[in-house]
Amino acid sequence: MIRSPLMTVMTDAVMKASRSLKRDFGEVENLQVSRKGPGDFVSAADRKAEKILREALEKARPGYGFVMEESGIVVGTDQSHRWHIDPLDGTTNFLHGLPQFAISVGLERDGQVVAGVIYDPAKDELFIAEKGKGAYLNNRRIRVAARNELVDAVVACGLPHIGKGDHGLFLREAASVMGNVGGMRRLGAAALDLAYVACGRMDAYWERGLHSWDVAAGILMIREAGGYISDADGGSDPLNKGSVACGNEIMHRELLKLLKKAKG
């Protein structure tokens, strides 16, 4: 387990925000039958969790900047550090009462992610990583899966939805991948998809149309678990390119080949 002051700050902030999300998630089912629907309620839950995270992190590390889903970019007096925060990754799942969502916090230092926390409140699973110190799930060291044959692999993906993403490209990519792997999954929370590859539950994962707050913590999680991660076109800057592809060395390489083939 990592017991650095930085990790303590991050996990304390995340756990504090998670208590708010847990309470709100307990209310979602009751809202499903209301005429107005739970959308406004979930947006409020999202903003409330982000406010808790921001206040806790500002108090512990004054001057650090923020890149946030709800509140946008906040430039700090410390130009070297920025928090990338997603207070509720998997909003659609949360909205429908599906217990597959997470809080994700990553710390960027001089352009590199150096620490990450992903917490799944519904399952009480805490994924943490710090540069050079490994990746952990609830105090247990984690590694990417060792499978090296696509036919045995389970691959996670993201699905574009109405008004979002290149549907045609995704269909070509999905066709390319599904014909070569043991199974495909769409779970609906990018941070958890990355964490699941890091701990070996999934063998590979790709998605487009992402933001830095979706992937910052997960990028480091993959690398500290011995995996490889790039953008979906093989570039070296997934934090800023809006897409990811990851797995162990072999799975990552083979996945990129299939995605490239789909683009033609």
Q: 89 labelled as ligand-binding? A: yes
8 A C-beta contact, residue 72 and residue 86? no
Backbone torsions φ then ψ of 78, nearest 5 degrees: -90, 105
Residue with tokens 């990553």: 106
Please tell me the distance from the alpha carbon of residue 217 to that of residue 143, in angstroms, as a whole number.
16
- Contact between 260 and 234 (Cβ < 8 Å): yes
203 is an annotated ligand-binding site residue: no
53 belongs to an annotated ligand binding site: no
- Torsion angle (degrees, nearest 10) of CA 110, 53, 92, 129: 50
Longest C-alpha distance within the chain, in Å? 51
Binding residues for Mg(2+): 69, 86, 88-89, 214
Binding residues: 69, 86, 88-89, 214
